Structure 1
Amino acid sequence: MQLVEQYVRLFAGRPNLKQGTPADISLAEVADILYCTHRNATLTLKKMQNQGWLHWQPGRGRGNRSVLTCLLAPDDLVFTVAKELVQKGDIQGSRQLIGQYQQEWQGLEEDYSRWMSSQFGLSVSREKGNGERVDTLRFFVSGPFRILDPIRVLLRSQTHLVKHIFDTLVRFDPATRTIVGQLAFFWESDELGKEWTLYLRKGVLFHHGRQMNAEDVCYSLLRLMEAPSRHRWLTHSIQSVQAIEDHIVIVTLQQPNHLFLHALSKEYVSIVPKDYVVQMGEGFAARPVGTGPFKVIRNDDSMLVLEAFQPYFAGRPFLDRVELWCVPELQDEAETNHLQLLRCTTGAGIVPEQDGVWNGVSRHEQSFQYVSLNGAKPGPLHDLSFRAAVAAILSGEALRADLKGSRQPVEAWGEAVPFLPEEEMSAFLKNGKDCDYSGEKLLLYTYPDLDHVEDAMWIQARCAQYGIPIEIVYVDPEELAQSAMLREADLIVDSANVDERLELSLLEFVYAEALSIHHHVDEQGRKKVEKQMKSLLEAKTKTDREDEMKKILAILQKRHTFVPLYSNRIEMQAHPRLSGISLDAYGWVDFSRVFVRA
């Protein structure tokens, strides 16, 4: 960086310098321009010449001036060095360099962003030396992934990566909608569904080389039970965990739970290596080790790099690497357009292919955006009648009509409240019918992400039409996951994690401490939900569980605890050479299934 600054200063210090044209200059003049000694000036010029930026011919003898030929224009040099930094993996350094000079040269930042965009997608290259082909899938993200510990992740993007680094004891197959084996290949329970015996695969390796055993499984479950994790609800029914042999574990529950295996399939219950977690301490969050198809080989402020785990027990991934580059401005642009592009670039030894028909992949997210109403907090929303009025005002249908974009009707659990004509809502509030509201300001908390900001501002404007002032407070996800902050808010705009495991998704929606519903249900509603949740866990058949789910949702809707706003429609265009691309319920690609055709 300093050498680049010195080159730019040298070029600016002699206005008559032109790229590629020799110019007479003395070493003393160079030293004056660079504010350094003659010796340092000589060393600096030598470094620049070694880099191929200039040619320096020192004068020989008294009175003979030296000759300087600058081979690169300063803006071209900055652009070139910025690209070299990216190719070396120093994305933060590259962005800082461009930021330092973007005001000086018009178009520099635009050219840089255009070049960075060309690096997005799939890169097919050859390794130096052996010529082996390397398939790399590359994405842009808004920030670094400092937390990839399964019991600590909060965002869906973090959870998706955890699925590739770790494995759970069992997994849910969306195609068959059944639980299938993963680290455990067989299991059985007693008649009551209280004692479960799990049989573990042998020879499964963690990324650091050690074989997984029953002690790791016990440690992972107990760690989640005892840690201050927002996901402890998954282990609330566990009474004890015991390793019988190296590959047999018995889990005893406090009460029957026929959704226990579904809970074990959740990413937060991934199995971790006891020795490595203890050794790494807090460092485990950023440099985790699991048994999954990909291992972390780099994780810093510039990028997260996942590499295929060769001895993966379920079969090595087809991709060799997955890179997530921290370039907020490009990732934000992709989110704004709601369109992800997987382009293909070719490296040495790969014959370029003419672009064919790009493959379109799309999916309606099962997760949905909602606003919760805090009926547990003393204040206006504690009044059920006032909550009903506010819920009617915050119609998902009206929001989607106004904001448009990729917002679609919620399909996961349906709308929570019917849409009321505006004249009915206006009269309801104007007359103060059945509610005691005196114009108090309500606090709305949400994230500073673009979609959350748009939703929050719409809610603010919508409520203002009916005389309800809203103050918006933007906080980071880690902050908003704090119980005290969730209880303090009158309203929260958040998203619910919903996938094909509908019953488990509902349990998470109600019980996860990082979500507002857990803290916003009023006392009467909480008692009713608890009673139905017990029946849900004890229900043995799918039909019975579906009936219990409907009853729980009916309680939440009748208590006006939340209003579903919309689900997103995710769209992706994939290069013709990419195969195995499908979107999961959260709109993400399973990296382990993607492969590149010749």
Structure 2
Amino acid sequence: MRLLNRLNQYQRLWQPSDGAPQEATIAELAARCFCSERHMRTLLRQAQEAGWLHWQARSGRGKRGVLKFLVSPVMLRNQMMEQALNKGHQHDALELAQLAPVELRALLHPFLGGQWQNNTPTLRIPYYRPLEPLHPGFLSGRAEQHLAGQVFCGLTRFLQDSSQPQGDLAHHWEISADGLRWQFYIRSTLYWHNGDAVTTGQLKARLDMLLSLPALRRLFASISRIEITHAQCLTFILDRADYWLAHRLASYCSVLAHPEHPAVGTGPFCLKIFGPELVRLENHDRYHLTHPLLKAIEYWITPLLFEQNLGTSCRHPVQIAIGEPEELSQLRLVSNSISLGFCYLALRQSERLTQAQAQRVIDIIHHTALLQTLPLDENLITPSQELLPGWAIPPASRETNTPLPPALTLLYHLPVELHTMAQQLKTALAAEDCELKLVFYDAKNWEGCTSLPKADIIMGDRLIGESAEYTLEQWLRCDPLWPALLSEAQFSRLQLTLDEAQRHPDDDQRCAALKQVFDSLMSQGILTPLFNYHYRVSAPPGVNGIRLNTRGWFDFCSAWLPASIR
């Protein structure tokens, strides 16, 4: 705040002559800066010592002195920002930047991207919205899900190139022959971000807290209890076999924070600042796996940058640019992929909408030009051809002329592309003499949505984690969509089918059983995917080691900066 005041005062002195030399009395200058004459003399002396201006006083009461400016307010602001960053005062730097939103793009340009700031390799990412708190359990945003995996660890984890869980806080685990007893052997050299050693009792306490959450209780329904059977061993006792258990424990929703300090984890990066304008991570010196090469990661929350079209650093959550691209051509595309996650359409079959009519809606979507002609950025989405690779959408129905109901209700939530999709579908159904009422739920998931049981058609977004098949199993178990969409009998049968599938120790058999569930949902006209996203990460030259993960982000542990980047 002190820097802001000093810059504001300097701008008040500068403005009347736009930087040209001025003749003025101390009283006039004090009036401009809303301070006393004594304080004005102090300010002029301090500014002159700092090399900002030159003040030549003239003797005699009321005599005008000569004020000469040596730096512009823009130059001074940049100097202050760099000094604040070198001292680790990121909030001061952001406040200085926000002073002049019209110039925000130019102001941020020298500080974003990757650079060695005060001998510290730091990666700064401008982001388009504030990040939500990293609370236990399920998180709605893909950025928050990714961040949770950088700050916290689970008993197990997923590696980038494998859908099979690996050891994390647990070095390894053993499973009894009947699948009802899982023993996780905890590493002996674990430390929390606050420097305290991790105890097995703390991990159990946090797991018990997670299992008390309704959504996580559904996810871990097979667990009867958790015991500490050794100082370094946690044993899970199940009442029915669940060979997804190691996958469930590797999911972002199962990462473990300190039982008494929810922001303290054991991950490669610890949270130093978490605010609406700035999130700063610093690497954890006592991390138990491969140490990060970067010292710090910062998200600079700059919505004004995007609202005023002054930059494109993160124009969309699936297209990330590290650094503020003055011109897109100055950045290089370092990684891109098609998301496994998808936007979907689900249909409630009832007296208002029969199975044949539901299938007719799906045919209109997939077997006309509707998806191919969505008025969206051509590099943003691609129409879905299958639910997952190898899980094909069923062919068009034979009853192509089934008349639609006179009116239906469509409920949808974010992302914003579903606004466009809803309007296109409304137009397409109007051509079939069906009026589609649109209801928008302003959220990223269906938690707390009271309109779900009343909608005929539902559209949403399904994020896919590191293990695609497991993520879809988790979706069926835990998402509020399914008990609201299906009848009580249908939902009960679905859960029994999932319980039966999870009993297969063999991964291929378990995934094949799950595929049958989704094949049935698609064949019955209950579910169909709409489109997938193009994930893209762009970066300036010198930012290395970036590879997209399944959430469209990149592992912060693998990114690195050469010392000569700036």
Structure 2 partner of 1:309: 284
1:101-500 alignment, distance < 5 Å: 102=102, 109=103, 112-127=104-119, 134-173=120-159, 175-228=161-214, 230-274=215-259, 276-277=260-261, 284=262, 288-330=263-305, 333-336=312-315, 339-342=319-322, 360-375=334-349, 380-381=352-353, 383-395=354-366, 398-402=370-374, 403=376, 404-410=378-384, 411-413=386-388, 414=391, 416=393, 418=395, 427-429=401-403, 432=404, 437-439=405-407, 442-447=409-414, 449-466=415-432, 467-477=434-444, 480-487=446-453, 489-500=455-466
TM-score in terms of structure 1 length? 0.80
Matched residue SS, 1:477: coil
Separation of aligned partners in 2, 1:26 and 1:519: 74
Separation of aligned partners in 2, 1:463 and 1:114: 47
Matched residue SS, 2:407: coil
Separation of aligned partners in 2, 1:34 and 1:574: 42
- Classify 1:356/1:401 alpha carbon distance in 2 versus 1 (closer, same or farther; 3 Å): closer
CA deviation string 1:389-445 (max 9, x = no partner): 333333396324434333124354345454579xx86x533xx5xxxx3425x2423
The structure with the greater share of residues assigned to helix is 1
- Classify 1:172/1:3 alpha carbon distance in 2 versus 1 (closer, same or farther; 3 Å): closer
Structure 1 partner of 2:56: 57
Shift of 1:192: 1.6
Separation of aligned partners in 1, 2:314 and 2:419: 13
Separation of aligned partners in 2, 1:372 and 1:94: 48
Shift of 1:176: 4.9
Shift of 1:158: 0.8
Separation of aligned partners in 1, 2:245 and 2:18: 73
Matched residue SS, 1:563: strand
Of residues 546-555 and 406-415 in structure 1, the stretch that sits farther from structure 2 once superposed is 406-415
CA deviation string 1:245-304 (max 9, x = no partner): 221111111211122111111121112222x33xxxxxx3xxx11111111111112211
Say whether the 8 Å CA contact 2:331–2:539 is kept in structure 1.
no
Matched residue SS, 1:252: strand
Structure 2 partner of 1:97: 99
1:512 aligned onto 2:478: yes
Shift of 1:555: 2.5
Separation of aligned partners in 2, 1:319 and 1:31: 47
CA RMSD of aligned residues (A): 3.5
Matched residue SS, 1:191: coil
- Classify 1:63/1:180 alpha carbon distance in 2 versus 1 (closer, same or farther; 3 Å): closer
Shift of 1:45: 4.2
Q: In the alignment, residue 293 of structure 1 is paired with which amino acid?
A: P
CA deviation string 1:7-60 (max 9, x = no partner): 444445x4xx35242x32223333444555544544554555455443333331
Say whether the 8 Å CA contact 1:166–1:290 is kept in structure 2.
yes
CA deviation string 1:286-325 (max 9, x = no partner): xx11111111111112211111111111132112111111
Q: In the alignment, residue 566 of structure 1 is paired with which amino acid?
A: F
Separation of aligned partners in 2, 1:492 and 1:48: 62
Matched residue SS, 1:584: coil
- Classify 1:356/1:64 alpha carbon distance in 2 versus 1 (closer, same or farther; 3 Å): closer
1:69 aligned onto 2:68: yes
Separation of aligned partners in 1, 2:556 and 2:137: 22
Shift of 1:202: 0.6
- Classify 1:3/1:417 alpha carbon distance in 2 versus 1 (closer, same or farther; 3 Å): farther
Separation of aligned partners in 2, 1:76 and 1:528: 68
Separation of aligned partners in 1, 2:514 and 2:226: 29
Say whether the 8 Å CA contact 1:299–1:305 is kept in structure 2.
yes
Shift of 1:160: 0.8
- Classify 1:34/1:415 alpha carbon distance in 2 versus 1 (closer, same or farther; 3 Å): same
Say whether the 8 Å CA contact 1:140–1:328 is kept in structure 2.
no
Say whether the 8 Å CA contact 2:171–2:187 is kept in structure 1.
yes
Q: Percent identity?
A: 22
Q: In the alignment, residue 333 of structure 1 is paired with which amino acid?
A: T
TM-score in terms of structure 2 length? 0.84
Matched residue SS, 2:557: helix
Q: In the alignment, residue 114 of structure 2 is paired with which amino acid?
A: L
Shift of 1:535: 1.9
Q: 1:556 aligns with which of 484, 499, 521?
A: 521
CA deviation string 1:104-135 (max 9, x = no partner): xxxxx3xx3144245332113443xxxxxx22
Say whether the 8 Å CA contact 1:123–1:344 is kept in structure 2.
no
Q: In the alignment, residue 221 of structure 2 is paired with which amino acid?
A: H
Separation of aligned partners in 2, 1:343 and 1:461: 40
Of residues 297-306 and 410-419 in structure 1, the stretch that sits farther from structure 2 once superposed is 410-419
Say whether the 8 Å CA contact 1:517–1:561 is kept in structure 2.
no
Shift of 1:200: 1.0
Say whether the 8 Å CA contact 2:387–2:529 is kept in structure 1.
no
Matched residue SS, 1:493: strand
Shift of 1:483: 4.9
Say whether the 8 Å CA contact 1:366–1:498 is kept in structure 2.
yes
Separation of aligned partners in 1, 2:258 and 2:19: 58
Shift of 1:182: 1.6
Separation of aligned partners in 2, 1:318 and 1:75: 34
Shift of 1:233: 2.9
- Classify 1:528/1:215 alpha carbon distance in 2 versus 1 (closer, same or farther; 3 Å): same
Shift of 1:597: 4.6
Q: In the alignment, residue 528 of structure 2 is paired with which amino acid?
A: V
Say whether the 8 Å CA contact 1:167–1:183 is kept in structure 2.
yes
Matched residue SS, 1:428: coil
Structure 2 partner of 1:572: 537
Matched residue SS, 1:19: coil
Say whether the 8 Å CA contact 1:503–1:549 is kept in structure 2.
yes
Say whether the 8 Å CA contact 2:151–2:268 is kept in structure 1.
yes
